[in-house]
Protein backbone atom coordinates (compact mmCIF):
# COMPACT_ATOMS: atom_id res chain seq x y z
CA UNK A 1 0.00 0.00 0.00
CA UNK A 2 1.03 3.59 -0.57
CA UNK A 3 1.83 6.03 2.20
CA UNK A 4 -1.22 7.84 3.53
CA UNK A 5 -1.89 11.46 2.59
CA UNK A 6 -0.15 11.20 -0.78
CA UNK A 7 -1.12 14.78 -1.56
CA UNK A 8 0.42 15.98 1.68
CA UNK A 9 3.91 14.44 2.01
CA UNK A 10 6.17 16.76 4.01
CA UNK A 11 9.97 16.82 3.73
CA UNK A 12 11.56 19.51 5.86
CA UNK A 13 14.42 21.10 3.91
CA UNK A 14 16.48 21.28 7.12
CA UNK A 15 16.23 17.50 7.45
CA UNK A 16 17.96 17.20 4.06
CA UNK A 17 20.53 19.99 4.34
CA UNK A 18 21.31 19.92 8.05
CA UNK A 19 21.13 16.17 8.59
CA UNK A 20 21.36 13.93 5.52
CA UNK A 21 23.91 16.14 3.76
CA UNK A 22 25.74 17.54 6.80
CA UNK A 23 29.13 15.87 7.20
CA UNK A 24 29.48 17.49 10.65
CA UNK A 25 26.22 16.09 12.03
CA UNK A 26 26.96 13.40 14.65
CA UNK A 27 24.40 10.89 13.35
CA UNK A 28 24.11 12.12 9.77
CA UNK A 29 27.80 12.13 8.86
CA UNK A 30 27.96 8.68 7.26
CA UNK A 31 24.79 9.31 5.27
CA UNK A 32 26.13 12.67 4.14
CA UNK A 33 29.44 11.19 3.00
CA UNK A 34 27.60 8.53 1.02
CA UNK A 35 25.15 10.91 -0.68
CA UNK A 36 27.73 13.61 -1.38
CA UNK A 37 30.20 11.08 -2.82
CA UNK A 38 27.50 10.11 -5.35
CA UNK A 39 26.86 13.70 -6.44
CA UNK A 40 23.62 14.29 -4.49
CA UNK A 41 22.69 17.82 -3.59
CA UNK A 42 19.73 18.86 -1.45
CA UNK A 43 17.28 19.31 -4.34
CA UNK A 44 18.16 16.00 -5.99
CA UNK A 45 18.05 14.03 -2.76
CA UNK A 46 14.69 15.52 -1.81
CA UNK A 47 13.39 14.69 -5.28
CA UNK A 48 14.59 11.05 -5.03
CA UNK A 49 13.02 10.59 -1.59
CA UNK A 50 9.73 12.16 -2.65
CA UNK A 51 9.64 10.06 -5.83
CA UNK A 52 10.08 6.90 -3.76
CA UNK A 53 7.31 7.99 -1.38
CA UNK A 54 4.86 8.57 -4.22
CA UNK A 55 5.69 5.51 -6.32
CA UNK A 56 6.53 2.70 -3.90
CA UNK A 57 4.39 0.71 -1.50
CA UNK A 58 5.52 0.69 2.09
CA UNK A 59 7.05 -2.52 3.45
CA UNK A 60 6.21 -2.13 7.12
CA UNK A 61 3.89 -0.10 9.28
CA UNK A 62 4.46 0.30 13.02
CA UNK A 63 2.24 1.85 15.64
CA UNK A 64 4.14 4.07 18.04
CA UNK A 65 2.98 6.28 20.92
CA UNK A 66 3.42 9.25 18.55
CA UNK A 67 1.63 7.86 15.50
CA UNK A 68 2.06 5.38 12.65
CA UNK A 69 5.56 4.91 11.25
CA UNK A 70 6.15 3.59 7.71
CA UNK A 71 9.23 2.01 6.10
CA UNK A 72 9.87 2.08 2.35
CA UNK A 73 12.69 0.46 0.38
CA UNK A 74 13.49 0.52 -3.30
CA UNK A 75 16.37 0.67 -5.74
CA UNK A 76 17.21 4.27 -6.60
CA UNK A 77 19.51 5.54 -9.32
CA UNK A 78 21.82 8.22 -7.97
CA UNK A 79 22.98 11.23 -10.03
CA UNK A 80 26.27 9.47 -10.80
CA UNK A 81 24.19 6.52 -12.14
CA UNK A 82 24.99 4.26 -9.19
CA UNK A 83 22.00 2.10 -8.25
CA UNK A 84 21.45 1.51 -4.54
CA UNK A 85 18.72 0.49 -2.15
CA UNK A 86 17.25 3.44 -0.29
CA UNK A 87 15.29 2.97 2.92
CA UNK A 88 13.14 5.89 3.99
CA UNK A 89 11.12 6.29 7.15
CA UNK A 90 7.93 8.33 7.40
CA UNK A 91 5.44 9.05 10.16
CA UNK A 92 1.87 10.22 10.48
CA UNK A 93 1.68 11.81 13.89
CA UNK A 94 -1.43 11.23 15.98
CA UNK A 95 -4.37 13.39 14.86
CA UNK A 96 -2.47 14.78 11.83
CA UNK A 97 -3.53 14.71 8.19
CA UNK A 98 -0.10 14.70 6.59
CA UNK A 99 2.86 12.33 6.35
CA UNK A 100 6.25 13.55 7.60
CA UNK A 101 9.63 12.39 6.36
CA UNK A 102 11.83 11.13 9.21
CA UNK A 103 15.05 9.84 7.63
CA UNK A 104 16.60 7.95 4.73
CA UNK A 105 19.74 5.89 4.32
CA UNK A 106 21.37 3.41 1.97
CA UNK A 107 20.81 -0.27 2.73
CA UNK A 108 23.84 -2.49 2.29
Task: Enter the pTM of the model.
Answer: 0.94
Average pLDDT, the chain: 95
Q: What are phi and psi of 104, to 5 degrees?
A: -150, 150
pLDDT value at 28 more than 90: no
The CA distance from 17 to 40, in Å, is 11
Integer Cα distance of 105 and 32 in angstroms: 9
| Mean pLDDT of the region 68-90 | 94
pLDDT at 18: 95
Give how far Cα 61 sits from Cα of 3, 30, 64, 65, 78, Å. Answer: 10, 26, 10, 13, 26
- Per-residue confidence (pLDDT) for residue 108, from 0 to 100: 81
pLDDT tier at 36 (50, 70, 90 boundaries)? Answer: very high
Amino acid sequence: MKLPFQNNLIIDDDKISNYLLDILHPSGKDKAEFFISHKCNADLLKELILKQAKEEDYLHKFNTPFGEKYVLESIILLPDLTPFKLRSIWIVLNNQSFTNFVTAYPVK
